[in-house]
Amino acid sequence: MVWGRAVNRISELCAAFGLDPEEFQTIAGGLAARHGEPDALRMEDLALAQGCARGNAAAWEYFAVGYGGRLQTIALSITREESSARDLAGSLYADLFGSKKLLSYSGRGSLEGWLRAVMAQEYVNRMRAGRRLANYEESFASAGVNDAEAPDGRLGASVDAALATLKSEERFLLASYYLDGRTLAQIGCLLGVHESTVSRRMEKLVALLRKRTLKELRARGVTGSAAEEMLGADVREIKVDVGRHLMESPGARK
Protein backbone atom coordinates (compact mmCIF):
# COMPACT_ATOMS: atom_id res chain seq x y z
CA MET A 1 0.00 0.00 0.00
CA VAL A 2 1.61 3.28 -1.10
CA TRP A 3 -1.07 5.75 -0.12
CA GLY A 4 -0.31 5.70 3.58
CA ARG A 5 -2.24 8.13 5.74
CA ALA A 6 -3.29 10.16 2.67
CA VAL A 7 -5.65 7.42 1.48
CA ASN A 8 -8.82 9.45 2.10
CA ARG A 9 -7.47 12.54 0.32
CA ILE A 10 -6.24 10.49 -2.66
CA SER A 11 -9.59 8.74 -2.90
CA GLU A 12 -11.28 12.13 -3.05
CA LEU A 13 -8.93 13.30 -5.78
CA CYS A 14 -9.47 10.14 -7.81
CA ALA A 15 -13.20 10.75 -7.65
CA ALA A 16 -12.79 14.42 -8.56
CA PHE A 17 -10.43 13.76 -11.48
CA GLY A 18 -12.23 10.75 -12.94
CA LEU A 19 -9.62 8.18 -11.92
CA ASP A 20 -10.28 4.61 -10.89
CA PRO A 21 -8.82 4.29 -7.35
CA GLU A 22 -7.52 0.77 -7.90
CA GLU A 23 -5.94 1.67 -11.23
CA PHE A 24 -4.33 4.74 -9.70
CA GLN A 25 -2.98 2.70 -6.80
CA THR A 26 -1.44 0.28 -9.28
CA ILE A 27 0.18 3.16 -11.17
CA ALA A 28 1.47 4.77 -7.98
CA GLY A 29 2.70 1.43 -6.66
CA GLY A 30 4.63 0.78 -9.87
CA LEU A 31 6.26 4.20 -9.74
CA ALA A 32 7.13 3.79 -6.08
CA ALA A 33 8.69 0.38 -6.71
CA ARG A 34 10.64 1.73 -9.67
CA HIS A 35 12.11 4.59 -7.68
CA GLY A 36 12.32 2.82 -4.33
CA GLU A 37 10.85 5.78 -2.48
CA PRO A 38 7.14 5.08 -1.81
CA ASP A 39 6.81 7.85 0.76
CA ALA A 40 8.42 10.43 -1.53
CA LEU A 41 5.74 10.37 -4.26
CA ARG A 42 3.66 13.54 -4.59
CA MET A 43 0.30 11.77 -4.66
CA GLU A 44 -1.85 14.86 -5.16
CA ASP A 45 0.31 16.11 -8.00
CA LEU A 46 0.39 12.64 -9.51
CA ALA A 47 -3.41 12.29 -9.37
CA LEU A 48 -3.80 15.71 -11.01
CA ALA A 49 -1.34 14.85 -13.79
CA GLN A 50 -3.05 11.53 -14.44
CA GLY A 51 -6.48 13.18 -14.55
CA CYS A 52 -5.31 15.89 -16.97
CA ALA A 53 -3.60 13.35 -19.22
CA ARG A 54 -6.90 11.49 -19.43
CA GLY A 55 -8.71 14.67 -20.45
CA ASN A 56 -10.80 15.08 -17.30
CA ALA A 57 -12.42 18.53 -17.34
CA ALA A 58 -12.34 18.94 -13.57
CA ALA A 59 -8.63 18.11 -13.49
CA TRP A 60 -7.90 20.70 -16.16
CA GLU A 61 -9.95 23.31 -14.34
CA TYR A 62 -7.96 22.58 -11.19
CA PHE A 63 -4.72 22.76 -13.18
CA ALA A 64 -5.69 26.06 -14.81
CA VAL A 65 -6.51 27.66 -11.47
CA GLY A 66 -3.53 26.26 -9.61
CA TYR A 67 -0.84 26.42 -12.28
CA GLY A 68 -1.96 28.98 -14.87
CA GLY A 69 -0.25 31.87 -13.09
CA ARG A 70 2.70 29.75 -12.06
CA LEU A 71 3.45 28.84 -15.67
CA GLN A 72 3.78 32.53 -16.53
CA THR A 73 6.06 33.12 -13.52
CA ILE A 74 8.24 30.14 -14.40
CA ALA A 75 8.44 31.23 -18.03
CA LEU A 76 9.44 34.76 -17.04
CA SER A 77 12.21 33.41 -14.81
CA ILE A 78 13.54 31.52 -17.83
CA THR A 79 13.12 34.06 -20.64
CA ARG A 80 13.48 37.30 -18.61
CA GLU A 81 11.12 38.96 -21.07
CA GLU A 82 7.35 39.39 -20.76
CA SER A 83 6.16 38.67 -24.31
CA SER A 84 8.49 35.69 -24.70
CA ALA A 85 7.32 34.39 -21.33
CA ARG A 86 3.67 34.62 -22.33
CA ASP A 87 4.38 32.80 -25.58
CA LEU A 88 6.41 30.08 -23.85
CA ALA A 89 3.83 29.52 -21.10
CA GLY A 90 0.96 29.49 -23.58
CA SER A 91 2.78 27.09 -25.86
CA LEU A 92 3.44 24.65 -23.01
CA TYR A 93 -0.17 24.78 -21.84
CA ALA A 94 -1.41 24.11 -25.39
CA ASP A 95 1.09 21.28 -25.75
CA LEU A 96 -0.08 19.64 -22.52
CA PHE A 97 -3.77 20.11 -23.15
CA GLY A 98 -5.31 17.22 -25.07
CA SER A 99 -2.09 15.18 -25.02
CA LYS A 100 -0.67 12.37 -22.90
CA LYS A 101 2.49 14.27 -22.05
CA LEU A 102 1.63 14.61 -18.36
CA LEU A 103 1.76 10.82 -18.05
CA SER A 104 5.54 11.15 -18.04
CA TYR A 105 5.38 12.94 -14.67
CA SER A 106 6.50 10.29 -12.17
CA GLY A 107 5.38 11.90 -8.92
CA ARG A 108 8.97 12.33 -7.77
CA GLY A 109 9.46 15.98 -7.01
CA SER A 110 6.70 18.52 -7.40
CA LEU A 111 4.62 18.89 -10.53
CA GLU A 112 5.72 22.53 -10.60
CA GLY A 113 9.35 21.42 -10.71
CA TRP A 114 8.57 19.03 -13.56
CA LEU A 115 6.81 21.80 -15.46
CA ARG A 116 9.83 24.05 -14.95
CA ALA A 117 12.16 21.40 -16.38
CA VAL A 118 9.92 20.81 -19.40
CA MET A 119 9.62 24.53 -20.06
CA ALA A 120 13.36 25.08 -19.74
CA GLN A 121 14.01 22.35 -22.32
CA GLU A 122 11.43 23.86 -24.65
CA TYR A 123 13.16 27.23 -24.33
CA VAL A 124 16.50 25.63 -25.22
CA ASN A 125 14.88 24.01 -28.27
CA ARG A 126 13.49 27.36 -29.34
CA MET A 127 16.86 29.04 -29.02
CA ARG A 128 18.41 26.37 -31.22
CA ALA A 129 15.58 26.68 -33.73
CA GLY A 130 15.99 30.44 -33.68
CA ARG A 131 19.59 30.14 -34.76
CA ARG A 132 18.50 27.97 -37.69
CA LEU A 133 15.77 30.45 -38.59
CA ALA A 134 18.33 33.23 -38.70
CA ASN A 135 20.09 31.22 -41.39
CA TYR A 136 16.82 30.79 -43.30
CA GLU A 137 16.16 34.50 -43.22
CA GLU A 138 19.63 35.19 -44.54
CA SER A 139 18.91 32.65 -47.27
CA PHE A 140 15.66 34.01 -48.58
CA ALA A 141 15.07 37.55 -47.33
CA SER A 142 17.24 38.87 -50.18
CA ALA A 143 19.17 41.17 -47.82
CA GLY A 144 18.21 44.12 -50.03
CA VAL A 145 19.36 42.42 -53.23
CA ASN A 146 16.76 41.60 -55.91
CA ASP A 147 16.86 39.73 -59.19
CA ALA A 148 17.66 42.90 -61.13
CA GLU A 149 20.90 43.12 -59.18
CA ALA A 150 21.76 39.46 -59.68
CA PRO A 151 24.59 38.69 -62.11
CA ASP A 152 22.31 36.74 -64.48
CA GLY A 153 18.54 36.96 -65.05
CA ARG A 154 18.42 33.21 -65.49
CA LEU A 155 18.68 32.85 -61.73
CA GLY A 156 15.14 34.11 -61.14
CA ALA A 157 13.75 31.85 -63.84
CA SER A 158 15.58 28.90 -62.34
CA VAL A 159 14.16 29.59 -58.90
CA ASP A 160 10.65 29.76 -60.38
CA ALA A 161 11.18 26.43 -62.11
CA ALA A 162 12.58 24.84 -58.96
CA LEU A 163 9.60 26.06 -56.91
CA ALA A 164 7.24 24.58 -59.47
CA THR A 165 8.66 21.10 -58.79
CA LEU A 166 7.86 21.20 -55.09
CA LYS A 167 5.05 19.23 -53.53
CA SER A 168 2.03 21.03 -52.14
CA GLU A 169 3.13 20.64 -48.49
CA GLU A 170 6.62 21.91 -49.33
CA ARG A 171 5.13 24.97 -50.98
CA PHE A 172 2.84 25.40 -47.98
CA LEU A 173 5.84 25.45 -45.63
CA LEU A 174 7.61 28.11 -47.67
CA ALA A 175 4.48 30.21 -48.23
CA SER A 176 3.46 29.99 -44.56
CA TYR A 177 6.83 31.18 -43.37
CA TYR A 178 7.92 33.64 -46.08
CA LEU A 179 4.55 35.00 -47.23
CA ASP A 180 2.25 34.71 -44.24
CA GLY A 181 4.89 35.32 -41.58
CA ARG A 182 3.89 32.34 -39.45
CA THR A 183 6.29 31.01 -36.83
CA LEU A 184 7.55 27.43 -36.74
CA ALA A 185 5.26 26.77 -33.79
CA GLN A 186 2.22 28.09 -35.66
CA ILE A 187 3.03 26.02 -38.73
CA GLY A 188 3.51 23.00 -36.50
CA CYS A 189 0.05 23.50 -35.01
CA LEU A 190 -1.47 23.64 -38.48
CA LEU A 191 0.28 20.43 -39.51
CA GLY A 192 -0.15 18.68 -36.17
CA VAL A 193 3.59 18.29 -35.55
CA HIS A 194 6.14 19.82 -33.19
CA GLU A 195 7.95 22.97 -34.28
CA SER A 196 11.28 21.11 -34.20
CA THR A 197 9.87 18.79 -36.88
CA VAL A 198 8.93 21.81 -38.98
CA SER A 199 12.44 23.19 -38.48
CA ARG A 200 14.03 19.97 -39.74
CA ARG A 201 11.70 19.89 -42.75
CA MET A 202 12.54 23.50 -43.57
CA GLU A 203 16.23 22.77 -43.36
CA LYS A 204 15.89 19.86 -45.80
CA LEU A 205 13.64 21.93 -48.04
CA VAL A 206 16.19 24.73 -48.26
CA ALA A 207 18.83 22.22 -49.35
CA LEU A 208 16.43 20.64 -51.87
CA LEU A 209 15.47 24.00 -53.37
CA ARG A 210 19.10 24.96 -53.76
CA LYS A 211 19.91 21.64 -55.46
CA ARG A 212 17.02 21.99 -57.90
CA THR A 213 17.84 25.61 -58.64
CA LEU A 214 21.38 24.58 -59.55
CA LYS A 215 19.95 21.92 -61.86
CA GLU A 216 17.68 24.47 -63.55
CA LEU A 217 20.57 26.89 -64.02
CA ARG A 218 22.60 24.18 -65.73
CA ALA A 219 19.62 23.37 -67.96
CA ARG A 220 19.64 27.02 -69.02
CA GLY A 221 23.22 26.81 -70.16
CA VAL A 222 24.95 28.03 -67.01
CA THR A 223 28.08 25.99 -66.38
CA GLY A 224 28.53 24.16 -63.09
CA SER A 225 31.04 26.59 -61.63
CA ALA A 226 29.08 29.64 -62.77
CA ALA A 227 25.87 28.22 -61.32
CA GLU A 228 27.58 27.62 -58.00
CA GLU A 229 28.93 31.16 -58.08
CA MET A 230 25.45 32.58 -58.74
CA LEU A 231 23.99 30.73 -55.82
CA GLY A 232 27.06 31.07 -53.65
CA ALA A 233 28.98 28.33 -51.93
CA ASP A 234 26.53 28.43 -49.03
CA VAL A 235 22.75 28.35 -49.22
CA ARG A 236 22.66 31.53 -47.15
CA GLU A 237 24.15 33.41 -50.10
CA ILE A 238 21.18 32.89 -52.45
CA LYS A 239 20.38 36.39 -53.66
CA VAL A 240 16.75 35.80 -54.65
CA ASP A 241 13.56 36.97 -52.95
CA VAL A 242 11.87 33.59 -52.67
CA GLY A 243 8.82 35.15 -51.04
CA ARG A 244 8.13 37.21 -54.14
CA HIS A 245 8.64 34.21 -56.42
CA LEU A 246 6.14 32.23 -54.37
CA MET A 247 3.65 35.09 -54.59
CA GLU A 248 4.01 35.44 -58.35
CA SER A 249 4.20 31.77 -59.32
CA PRO A 250 0.97 29.91 -60.25
CA GLY A 251 -0.82 28.19 -57.38
CA ALA A 252 1.28 29.90 -54.74
CA ARG A 253 -1.43 29.75 -52.11
CA LYS A 254 -3.18 26.54 -53.04
pLDDT at 37: 59
User: Are 95 and 190 in the same domain?
Assistant: no
pLDDT at 225: 74
Task: Kindly report whether the global pTM for this prediction surpasses the value 0.95.
Answer: no
Q: How many domains does the chain have?
A: 2
User: Are 156 and 64 in the same domain?
Assistant: no
Tell me the residue range of the domain where 217 lies: 141-248
pLDDT at 253: 41
User: Are 18 and 88 in the same domain?
Assistant: yes
User: Are 163 and 52 in the same domain?
Assistant: no
Name, in order, each residue with C-beta under 8 angstroms of 231's C-beta and a sequence gap of 6 or more: 155, 210, 213, 214, 217, 237, 238
129, 163, 188 — which closes off a domain?
129
107, 129, 151 — which closes off a domain?
129
What's the mean pLDDT when you consider all of the chain? 75
pLDDT at 251: 45
pLDDT at 20: 92
Residue 254 lies in a domain: no
pLDDT tens-digit profile, the chain (254 residues): 445 555 677 788 899 999 998 899 888 888 877 765 556 688 889 999 999 999 999 999 999 999 988 898 988 988 888 888 888 888 888 888 878 889 989 888 889 988 988 888 788 777 766 555 455 455 544 433 343 334 456 777 787 788 888 877 777 777 777 666 778 888 887 777 788 888 888 888 888 888 888 888 888 888 777 777 766 543 433 434 455 555 544 444 44
CB atoms within 10 A of CB 48: 25
Residue 174 lies in a domain: yes
pLDDT at 56: 93
What gap in Å lies between CA 57 and CA 71, rounded to an integer? 19
Q: Which of 66, 68, 70 is nearest to 44 (CA)?
A: 66
SS3 content of the chain, % helix, strand, coil (to 5): 75, 0, 25
Q: What is the pLDDT of residues 8-62, one digit of tens each?
A: 777 888 999 999 988 998 888 888 777 655 566 888 899 999 999 999 999 999 9
